[in-house]
Amino acid sequence: MSGFKKFLLQGNLVDLAVAFIIGTAFAAVVKTFTDMLVAFVAKAGGAKEVGKILIAKVDVAPFINATIAFVVMAAVVYFFVVVPYTKAKERFFPDAPEGPDEQLQLLTEIRDALTVSRP
């Protein structure tokens, strides 16, 4: 039972649960915003409703809706998650300067050990 308790209280599991809940709530906001954008696209295309955008008698509104939703979601994730995370990571956890190659260092130590042991 202690293993199960440890699993439940791990930080990663809690972070994932919070991200899922926030993501679900945010998806509703993005869907509403996308529906609004699609309505503007429909009006610009001369249709009175979103479902009335026809090209060669084919309803293209669902494709337009999905495309706008994808672009909006990708932009939001990039500008509000990826960019701040990358900047914070660079600021608080800068990359360590590269030292000598591990293999080169080992070979150097072997060479030095061989030169010391020679008479």
Q: Which spans in 45-82 are helix H? A: 61-77
At residue 27, the pLDDT reads 80
At residue 14, the pLDDT reads 65
At residue 8, the pLDDT reads 61
Long-range contacts of 106-111 (CB under 8 A, 24+ apart): none
| Domains in the chain, number | 1
Q: Is the dihedral of CA 82, 84, 85, 90 positive or negative?
A: positive
pLDDT digits (tens, 9 = 90+) for 27-75: 888 778 777 877 787 778 776 666 666 778 777 777 777 777 778 877 8
Domain range for 21 is: 2-117
Per-residue tokens: 13: 């599991």
Tracing tokens 């439940």 back to the chain, one arrives at: 8
CATH at 69: 1.10.1200.120
Q: In a 10 Å sphere around its CB, with 0-12 CB exposed, 13-18 middle and 19+ buried, how is residue 30 labelled?
A: middle
At residue 11, the pLDDT reads 58
Percent of the chain with pLDDT strictly greater than 70: 83
Q: How confident is the model at residue 88 (pLDDT cuts 50, 70, 90)?
A: confident
Q: How many CB atoms lie within 10 A of CB 34?
A: 20
